[in-house]
Amino acid sequence: MPRLEDILAQPSLNGVYRLLTPAELVPVLDGTTLAGKVELLAGIGRALDFPDYYGGNWDALEECLSDLSWRAGPVHLLIRHADAIPAEHLGMLLDIFTEAAGHWARLGRVCSLFLEGLASGELAEAS
């Protein structure tokens, strides 16, 4: 199990993780406020300071996460209470973020999504 400090610093560890212990990461979203697609996509856009042209749809999320020319440094996002996000929205988010994380890992840039509140499963775990 990788350490959180390593994930935050090493592009080779980019991915989506179920967070086992509380962490102080910026930015942080509360999944209980992200029950709808509109709220989820708008929240991510605000949290990651997406540009004004961000359209608040799945294609726009994918585009912004794969571009990032407008943002310097690593990209981290923590969603607490991720289990409150409807499964179909969470699945799409994981697909898009996993693809972006892999893209940035190949280019040597840190990009990871952390999820608190999910049951054990297929996601890697970080402590």
Tell me what pLDDT residue 119 has: 75
**pLDDT, mean of residues 4-22:** 83
* Least confidently predicted of 19-23, 38-42, 84-88, 123-127: 123-127
- Taking the C-alpha atoms of residue 96 and residue 52, their distance in angstroms, rounded to an integer, is 20
The count of domains in the chain is 1
- Taking the C-alpha atoms of residue 59 and residue 123, their distance in angstroms, rounded to an integer, is 23
- Asked if residue 51 has pLDDT above 70, the reply is yes
Q: Quick one: angle between helices 58-67 and 37-47, nearest 10?
A: 20
Whether 102 and 14 have beta carbons less than 8 Å apart is answered as yes
Q: What is the CATH number of the domain that holds 39?
A: 3.30.370.10
- Asked if residue 45 has pLDDT above 80, the reply is yes
pLDDT in tens, 77-124: 999 999 999 999 999 999 999 999 999 999 999 999 999 988 766 465
Q: State the residue range of the domain holding 60.
A: 4-126
Residue 111's closest CA among 124, 126, 100? 100
Structure tokens at 9: 């610093």
Q: Mean pLDDT over all residues of the chain?
A: 89
